[in-house]
Amino acid sequence: MSELIVQGKRYSCRGILFDKDGTLLDFIQLWGPWARSILDMMEQHLVVAGAGFTMEKGNILGTVHDQEGRVIGYDPSGPLAMGTVDESTGVLAWQLYTAGVPWNEAVRLVREFNKTAMADVRRHRAAKVFPGLRTLLEQSRRAGLKLAVVTSDSTEAAQEHLEWMGLTSYFDEIIGHDRVTYGKPDPEMAEKACALLGLSPADVVVIGDSNGDMQMGKRAGVRLAIGFAPEPERSGHLLDADKVVRRYKELEVRRA
């Protein structure tokens, strides 16, 4: 058994489950350009069809845009932050459907837009690790903790992003939405990760940036649910967190 020290308080644990986007890597750096790209393609197609979005552009996926159209923020409880690929596809396809595009064609178009946007993401590899994360992962490895990633992204995409950042070797398991029936905030993802790690949820800590992560952990019965909020205003969304931290330097792992 090892100890996770959170803001000076000690908690015994055997493993940590990390969310990916917004927790391991800077969300906006990776998904901001993707969201802008796919929304721009959607808008152009709608204009050609003589239509437009049924709501403010930023409300569709839960994004905040500057005057030049760049994505500079996001709603941590919105589709971009919490939705799966299929859910986001449905949200976007609905905009095309309301403009008169048949549903099957709307879904096909959104998938094509997604391929184009993801190709740009892969070309730029704009994923950025949060300061202090590597130190925490190194401490965890030395202390013998088992680590897993639990993400609403696909397992394949999560593996790819971790490889870009050189983090793959730290994690024993990567659980994407395609490896479970129900996504967050259902406990299935955390329960599956614990089972694969050979640990009881009561010996595991969850770290994530959304309240869905906190609810998933609580429903699975984890030892501690830690909300990660590098921007102060995001802490208000983490209603079910046991603890909220702004920096990884607020966390430390030691062998008990």
Band of residue 80 on the pLDDT scale cut at 50, 70, 90: confident
Residues ≥6 apart with Cβ < 8 Å to 91: 60, 61, 79, 83
Residue 81 pLDDT = 83
Residue 224 pLDDT = 97
Res. 246: pLDDT tops 80 = yes
Plot region of 213 (φ>0 → left; ψ -120 to 50 → alpha; else → beta):
alpha
Angle formed at CA 145 by CA 143 and CA 151, multiple of 5 degrees? 140
Residue 69 pLDDT = 87
Q: Is 47 exposed, middle or buried (0-12, 13-18, 19+ CB in 10 A)?
A: exposed
Cα 166 from Cα 151, distance rounded (Å): 18
Residue 96 pLDDT = 95
Residue 210 pLDDT = 92
CA 143 to the chain's CA centroid? 26
Q: Which pTM does this prediction carry?
A: 0.84
Question: Across all residues in the chain, what is the average pLDDT?
Answer: 92
Res. 199: pLDDT tops 90 = yes
Q: Record the tokens describing residue 12, joined without a space.
A: 């015994």
Res. 162: pLDDT tops 90 = yes
CA 140 to the chain's CA centroid? 21
Band of residue 185 on the pLDDT scale cut at 50, 70, 90: very high
Band of residue 93 on the pLDDT scale cut at 50, 70, 90: very high
Residue 77 pLDDT = 81
Order of strands across the sheet with 204-208?
A: 173-175, 146-150, 15-18, 204-208, 224-228, 243-245
CA 180 to the chain's CA centroid? 16
Residue 148 or 78, more confident: 148
User: How many Cβ atoms from other residues are within 10 Å of residue 104's Cβ?
Assistant: 10
What mean pLDDT is predicted for residues 92-96?
95
